[in-house]
Amino acid sequence: MNGLPDQVDVAIVGAGLAGLTVAWRLQQDRPDLSIVVLERSSRPGGKIRSERVEHAGGAFVVEAGPDAFLAQKPWAKQLIDDLGLGDQLLPVAKMDQAVSILRNGRIIAWPSGISLVAPTELKPFLRTPLISWPGKVRMARDLLLPAGSVDGDESIASFARRRLGQEAVDWIAEPLLAGIYSADPEEVSLQATFPHLKALEEEHGSLIRGLRATKRRRSLDGPPPPTFVSLKNGMESLPQALAARLGEDLKTGVTVSSVTDEGEGFRLFTARGRSIACRQIVYAIPATVTATLLPESARTLGDAIGAMQSSSSGTLSLAYRDEQITRPISGYGLVLPGKEGRAFNAITVTSRKFAERAPAGWTLLRLFFGGARSPATMSADDQHVLDLARGEVRELLGVTGEPAFWRIARYPVGNPVYEVGHLARMAAIERDLPEGIHLAGAAWYGVGIPDIVRQSNEIANRIGASLPASKVRDVAMV
Ligand SMILES: Cc1cc2nc3c(=O)[nH]c(=O)nc-3n(C[C@H](O)[C@H](O)[C@H](O)COP(=O)(O)OP(=O)(O)OC[C@H]3O[C@@H](n4cnc5c(N)ncnc54)[C@H](O)[C@@H]3O)c2cc1C
């Protein structure tokens, strides 16, 4: 393809948030280095996709993938500030009762004071019908049980069951995990996702006591900042801003099809028969693709990387007039636990979560499907998923009539699943990774947007520190 350099200092494969962030940080910190980002699709941003839909004289913002990020982890917000987009930040609407949950076909309020998997406030916990009385008694036993003797990693389900009992797994941990990881809590590693829960158990002898202490400590710091934030014109403004800064260093429509070792560096080959030599390479693509693109010097890692699991998920957004929703829920989220056996995992009332996402008088809903729990929906065609969704919102929210428009997004094998033992596997992979090869993105150390930015910053720092002044630019100047 025209416009590809013959050689660069650093080649980055994949222009999702990870690849773009590594590239921009490098561009900022080491302007002497030459870089190229190669992206298979025609648009950068990977899973982050926002669409502005003009309808009935107003504008909707429809998110295909992420619609917000955790503001308490500072790295994404810092990146947004560094890009000059700080004034675009959009906090999630503040509501007393943000989330509801379905139990036995009834919509009930998510009890306030639940922190991750355990209650931290007594009254709402005692009052909630989400957990049965025997279930509550079992959860309270966490206060008496000694810290567990599990050495090393365990699944989130195993940990929650051990401390709090099966109801905490079925009605709290499972829906939480389905929302964040689209994964089965029986498989997901505690160490790789919520390591601080284990640390709290060890420090306080009880998860409930530990979470309460954390909450008390935080309350001394004053009122909490908004938990989740987004960007006014949609999450895609972030990769778009990064891509604009990268300019000619970003090449879209270029699929990397193989990588070989070459001298002290590597050579990348594209699907259209071009090649680029580089001193270092960053794989900012899913694990399964990374496994097929390793050079000979890293081939032994292919099996371990290729064995990493991922689940498939999708979202369906539906636009209705407000009056079509005859039984609105009180907040912006309805969680549908696996035990309820529904076709969808959750419903977000996007236009309540962020009023700016739909014109006045309109409700924008987003339904989540697929994941570990309902993989069959992923293979159903769009019309079938739409029919299922219309039935679901009719039954749960009393929706009448047809949506004014709808958008469906699918992410086949798009959600990395950190199985038990993930961190030990990663340590082994990192140990054997040849010098000059870097792994960035959701597959390795955190799927959330702030964690991806953190890892990408670290990789850019590592590359910046390890590469002496550019040889490639010297050659170009001769
Ligand atoms: C439905 C959904 C909802 C989510 N919601 C949230 C949320 O609300 N908050 C949050 O923090 N996180 C959320 N996430 C997670 C977050 O969006 C992702 O973890 C993150 O965007 C992944 O970024 P990445 O750069 O690691 O990978 P990707 O975005 O997958 O980017 C990888 C890029 O590599 C390209 N590529 C692949 N193979 C090649 C090749 N051979 N050659 C060249 N290019 C290649 C791809 O086209 C892609 O652009 C959500 C994810 C999904 C799927």
Report the nearest atom of ligand 1 relative to the CA of 293: 41
Report the nearest atom of ligand 1 relative to the CA of 451: 11
Q: Whose CA is nearest to atom 38 of ligand 1?
A: 285
400 and 326 housed in the same domain: yes
Domain boundary among 417, 443, 459: 417
Q: Whose CA is nearest to atom 29 of ligand 1?
A: 46
Per-residue pLDDT tens over the stretch 96-136: 888 999 999 999 999 988 877 888 888 999 999 999 999 99
Provide the pLDDT confidence category of residue 150 given band limits of 50, 70 and 90.
Answer: confident
Binding site membership of 255 for ligand 1 (Cβ less than 6 Å):
yes
Which regions of 220-264 does DSSP assign to beta strands (E)? Answer: 228-231, 250-252, 256-262
383 and 424 housed in the same domain: no
Report d(CA 71, CA 157) in Å as an integer: 26
User: Which residue among 38, 43, 181, 285 has the greatest number of ligand 1 atoms within 8 angstroms of its CB, and so is best to mutate?
Assistant: 285
Q: Residue range 280-298: average pLDDT?
A: 97
Whether 92 is in a domain gets the answer no
136 and 280 housed in the same domain: no
pLDDT at 476 over 50: no
CATH number of the domain residue 324 falls in: 3.90.660.20
Binding site membership of 446 for ligand 1 (Cβ less than 6 Å):
no
296 and 322 housed in the same domain: no
150 and 298 housed in the same domain: no
CATH number of the domain residue 302 falls in: 3.50.50.60
Whether 96 is in a domain gets the answer no
423 and 413 housed in the same domain: no
Whether 426 is in a domain gets the answer yes
430 and 471 housed in the same domain: yes
Lowest pLDDT segment from 76-80, 219-223, 400-404: 219-223
Binding site membership of 65 for ligand 1 (Cβ less than 6 Å):
yes
Q: What percent of the chain has pLDDT over 70?
A: 97
Can you give the residue range of the structural domain that contains 199? Answer: 120-219
Binding site membership of 39 for ligand 1 (Cβ less than 6 Å):
yes
Binding site membership of 414 for ligand 1 (Cβ less than 6 Å):
yes
290 and 432 housed in the same domain: yes
Whether 112 is in a domain gets the answer no
Q: How far is CA 358 from the centre of its chain?
A: 23
Interval between CA 267 and ligand 1 midpoint (Å)? 25
Report the nearest atom of ligand 1 relative to the CA of 452: 26
Report the nearest atom of ligand 1 relative to the CA of 67: 8
E strand or H helix that includes residue 282: strand 275-283
Domain boundary among 417, 436, 461: 417
Whether 265 is in a domain gets the answer yes
Instruction: Return the pLDDT at 478.
Output: 34
Report d(CA 180, CA 158) in Å as an integer: 18
409 and 372 housed in the same domain: yes
Binding site membership of 445 for ligand 1 (Cβ less than 6 Å):
no
pLDDT at 475 over 70: no
Q: Whose CA is nearest to atom 12 of ligand 1?
A: 448
The residues, ordered by sequence, that sit 6+ positions from 111 with a Cβ below 8 Å of its Cβ are 119, 124, 125, 127, 128, 130
Whether 108 is in a domain gets the answer no
> Long-range pairs for 159-164 at CB < 8 Å and ≥24 separation?
159/190, 159/197, 159/198, 159/201, 160/117, 160/185, 163/118, 163/201, 163/206, 163/207, 164/117, 164/118, 164/138, 164/139, 164/207
Provide the pLDDT confidence category of residue 179 given band limits of 50, 70 and 90.
Answer: confident
pLDDT at 322 over 80: yes
260 and 210 housed in the same domain: no
Binding site membership of 289 for ligand 1 (Cβ less than 6 Å):
yes
Mean pLDDT of the chain: 93
Binding site membership of 315 for ligand 1 (Cβ less than 6 Å):
yes
Per-residue pLDDT tens over the stretch 193-252: 999 999 999 999 999 999 999 888 887 776 666 689 999 999 999 999 999 999 999 999
Backbone angles phi, psi at 376, to 5 degrees: -60, -35
Report the nearest atom of ligand 1 relative to the CA of 442: 26
CATH number of the domain residue 211 falls in: 1.10.3110.10
pLDDT at 474 over 70: no
Taking CA atoms, 272 is separated from 254, 256, 257, 259, in Å, by: 8, 9, 9, 14
Domain boundary among 194, 219, 244: 219
Whether 64 is in a domain gets the answer yes
Interval between CA 65 and ligand 1 midpoint (Å)? 8
Count of structural domains within the chain? 3
Report d(CA 303, CA 266) in Å as an integer: 20
User: Which residue among 22, 38, 47 has the greatest number of ligand 1 atoms within 8 angstroms of its CB, and so is best to mutate?
Assistant: 47
356 and 313 housed in the same domain: yes
62 and 207 housed in the same domain: no
Interval between CA 283 and ligand 1 midpoint (Å)? 13
Q: Residue range 52-71: average pLDDT?
A: 95
Whether 179 is in a domain gets the answer yes
